[in-house]
A and B are shown apart, each in its own frame.
Chain A
Amino acid sequence: MLQLKDVKKSFIQPDSSELRILDIPEFEVAAGEQVVVVGRSGCGKTTLLHVIAGISRPTSGRVRIDGWDMALLEEAEVDRFRAERIGYVFQTFNLLPAFSALENVLLGMTFGKARAERDRARQLLHRVGLGHRLTHKPMQLSVGEQQRVAVARALANRPQLLLADEPTANVDIGNQQTIIDLLREACQEEKVALVLVTHAPEVAEQFERIEYLENINLAWTAR
């Protein structure tokens, strides 16, 4: 479902030297599979997700999702592809503060093919336990609730792949497990492949497949 081949990502520094962030010879995720990528802060976990989501283009290499070579798509096509097939849960939730919980989920649908299905948006918020807080603005929600809204938004367009960037990093300990359980269960129910990056071993150890991202390489795979 997801294939990365010889993907490299570098940045040119002010002194014109090249800073390599990623170097991944091969990485594959099957449809509906759940993978955790573990690495310390600054090792390129977020960049990896950005490259997969098409937010950043790799310096070289191929990213294929569901048979589509992302490098061959125009930027607008990548945007559309991302809107329709990829869900994204951010470390900092990234809910838009002016929108209610329901509107944040609907916003996710606005740019995808599932054009503003209010019923599905409501259903998803009920699914994450926020059916009673549809009209609340992010500021009126706890951090755990905000992240649950973010999960509902990521699932809104019935994606094939969900990318979660440290989804528990800003959530209190009590809510961390709830978020992880929610993500895993929801992805299982919706048959969505999940790639979750984290630096937390207690999160990683709950997954059957763990990839370690160290020294810019996906160094080791364990089952």
Chain B
Amino acid sequence: MSLWKIAWRSIQQRSLASALTALSMALGVGLVVAVLVIHGVLGQSFRRSAQGYDLILGAKGSRLELVLSTVFHLYRPTANIPAKDYYTVLSRYEAEMLAIPVCMGDTFKQHRVIGTTPDMFDELEYRDGKKYEFQEGGRNFTWDGHFEAVIGATVARRTGLKVGGTFPPVHGDTLGHRDQRDFTVVGILKPTGTPNDRAIFVNVEGFYDLHKKEAGDSHAGSHEKPEGPSATATAEKAPPGSAGSRDGAPPAGASSRKPRFDESREVTAVLVVFRTPNMPRRVAIPKEINRDRELQLQAVAPAEEVTKLFEGIIGNVQWILLFLAILIVIVAGIGILVSIYNSMSDRRHEIAIMRALGARRVTVMMTVLCESILLALGGGAIGVLLGHGLTGLLAPIIDKQTGVVVSPLQFQTSELVLIPGLILLATVVGYLPAVVAYRTDVAQSLIASP
């Protein structure tokens, strides 16, 4: 019979006390797991999303705000930048990078509507080697389909929009006015695990057309700032016969593989992916852009900003939470010590019997340590389930707040540290009662009444 079985029988004999002790350990471990999983998934998701773009070009100001707004669709969009600056950058670095404009300012059912070009899904990868894919029956919007839209998987799930369905973007936030023209969904993205799952992408030309129209109506002055393309300016200055006719149909010969050159326009930001593998150039380009005082924009590396965010505020919060959770685990460990130690007076007789049957001092000591480890690991195993269950309960809140989908089945490799950690903790807390077992006077304990 193994020592583990002997220890397990001892646990069974004190089932209530053992269950309560294991439960306290489970609660502590559950909290640790929840913190590890949620932080891990959030971190992975943020970093992965940030890695989709090498640079973000946007209005000067807070770099983090630009990244959070453009990449993660969090908070309000930043101020716009003149489209001419975008064209300047594009013409200067076209061979070295792919630059995709994005215009923001509209929403539909709390999902951000982003005006962009088909390159967004034709050219970009949302993760290394992973191109955007469309769910069955869907496709990318075309350069000429001005009022076509592609929606993220989360948007489709939450709004019920399907391919062929239409929706009216609302200008500003949900309290803003309804735009005058509906967009037609032509494609639904397969889930990417990025914030783009909860965004709506429309043809930037349609976006401009929409706001050009608005500029002429009475709501034009009520737009919240920032609002994406400068609708008023666009409307007033857009050249006649441009791609944006009111019915959304492109004028003859307007089909283009590039956004139309129109210096009067504005864009909210530009997503940049380097084409050049030349590392020194990749480092130099953002510096060159940021040094150019003619340009009213800044170049920001999103991965760098996300790393700073996680290593700074979020990282510290995680460490504090983790520290508190570990403290709870240690307190639970002390609970194991108290539970086993308190039972030692009742167990002296049993230990003496085992010794009389030939068990060595070290053997009974190891039995007590095994019991401590079983309680810690048993409680820990329940805690892992509790932690993932807690993650599942918090998942909708996290999804709503950050757009990151956290599955209760997502395991973090850092959870594996719990196994040696709990064994170490159990060994430490089990040591004192184990020593009591070691020192048990056999003859005296046998004579004493059981």
- A: residues with CB less than 8 A from B are 46-47, 50, 53, 55-56, 75-76, 79-80, 82-84, 86, 88, 90, 92, 94, 96-99, 103, 106-112, 116, 153, 157
| A111 near B357: Cβ-Cβ < 8 Å | yes
Q: Interface extent on B, as a size class?
A: 20 to 34
Contacts of A97 in B (CB 8 A): 13
Interface string of B359-374 (1 = CB under 8 A from A): 1111100000000000
Known interface pairs A94-B446, A107-B6; A88-B361 also in contact (CB < 8 Å) = no
Contacts of B2 in A (CB 8 A): 110
Contacts of A108 in B (CB 8 A): 357-358
Contact among A46, A83, A99, A153 for B447, CB-based, below 8 A: A46
B354 within 8 A of A: yes
B355 within 8 A of A: yes
| B357 near A56: Cβ-Cβ < 8 Å | no
Contact among B349, B358, B442 for A83, CB-based, below 8 A: B358
B353 within 8 A of A: yes
| A111 near B363: Cβ-Cβ < 8 Å | yes
Contacts of A84 in B (CB 8 A): 358
| A55 near B443: Cβ-Cβ < 8 Å | yes
Majority secondary structure of chain A interface residues (helix, strand, loop or mixed) = helix
How far apart sit A46 and B350, CA to CA, in the bound complex (Å)?
A: 18
The 6 A-B pairs at the shortest CB distance, nearest first, are namely A83-B358, A111-B358, A98-B13, A98-B9, A110-B1, A79-B360
How far apart sit A110 and B9, CA to CA, in the bound complex (Å)?
A: 14
Known interface pairs A76-B362, A109-B1; A96-B355 also in contact (CB < 8 Å) = no
How far apart sit A47 and B13, CA to CA, in the bound complex (Å)?
A: 30
How far apart sit A56 and B441, CA to CA, in the bound complex (Å)?
A: 9
Chain B residues 405-450 with CB under 8 Å of chain A are 442-443, 446-447, 450
Contacts of A107 in B (CB 8 A): 1, 6, 354, 357
Determine how close the nearest CB of chain A comes to the CB of B350; give it in whole angstroms: 6
Contacts of B359 in A (CB 8 A): 79, 83, 110-111
- Smallest CB-CB separation from B350: which chain A residue? A96
Contacts of A83 in B (CB 8 A): 357-359
How far apart sit A88 and B354, CA to CA, in the bound complex (Å)?
A: 11
B284 within 8 A of A: no
Q: List 17 A-B contacts (CB under 8 A).
A: A50-B446, A53-B356, A55-B356, A55-B442, A75-B361, A82-B356, A90-B356, A90-B446, A92-B450, A94-B349, A94-B356, A94-B450, A98-B10, A103-B9, A111-B358, A111-B363, A153-B357
- B: residues with CB less than 8 A from A are 1-2, 6, 9-10, 12-13, 349-350, 353-363, 442-443, 446-447, 450
Contacts of B356 in A (CB 8 A): 53, 55, 82, 88, 90, 94
Contacts of B446 in A (CB 8 A): 50, 55, 90, 94
Determine how close the nearest CB of chain A comes to the CB of B438; give it in whole angstroms: 11
How far apart sit A42 and B2, CA to CA, in the bound complex (Å)?
A: 37
Contacts of B447 in A (CB 8 A): 46
Known interface pairs A46-B447, A109-B1, A110-B6; A98-B355 also in contact (CB < 8 Å) = no
How far apart sit A80 and B359, CA to CA, in the bound complex (Å)?
A: 7
| A96 near B442: Cβ-Cβ < 8 Å | no
Determine how close the nearest CB of chain A comes to the CB of B129; give it in whole angstroms: 55
How far apart sit A18 and B361, CA to CA, in the bound complex (Å)?
A: 28
- Smallest CB-CB separation from B358: which chain A residue? A83
Contact among A106, A111, A116 for B354, CB-based, below 8 A: A111
How far apart sit A110 and B443, CA to CA, in the bound complex (Å)?
A: 21
| B12 near A98: Cβ-Cβ < 8 Å | yes
Determine how close the nearest CB of chain B comes to the CB of A165; give it in whole angstroms: 9
How far apart sit A80 and B360, CA to CA, in the bound complex (Å)?
A: 7
How far apart sit A116 and B5, CA to CA, in the bound complex (Å)?
A: 12
Determine how close the nearest CB of chain A comes to the CB of B364; give it in whole angstroms: 10
Known: A83-B359, A99-B9, A111-B357. 9 other contacts (CB 8 A): A46-B447, A50-B443, A76-B360, A82-B357, A86-B358, A88-B356, A96-B354, A111-B354, A111-B359
- Smallest CB-CB separation from B444: which chain A residue? A56
How far apart sit A56 and B356, CA to CA, in the bound complex (Å)?
A: 10
Contacts of B349 in A (CB 8 A): 94
Determine how close the nearest CB of chain A comes to the CB of B169; give it in whole angstroms: 70
Contacts of A112 in B (CB 8 A): 358
Contacts of B360 in A (CB 8 A): 75-76, 79-80, 111
How far apart sit A174 and B360, CA to CA, in the bound complex (Å)?
A: 37
How far apart sit A106 and B349, CA to CA, in the bound complex (Å)?
A: 19
Determine how close the nearest CB of chain A comes to the CB of B36; give it in whole angstroms: 36
Contacts of A76 in B (CB 8 A): 360-362
Determine how close the nearest CB of chain A comes to the CB of B73; give it in whole angstroms: 59
Contacts of A94 in B (CB 8 A): 349, 353, 356, 446, 450
How far apart sit A108 and B443, CA to CA, in the bound complex (Å)?
A: 18
Determine how close the nearest CB of chain B comes to the CB of A220; give it in whole angstroms: 26
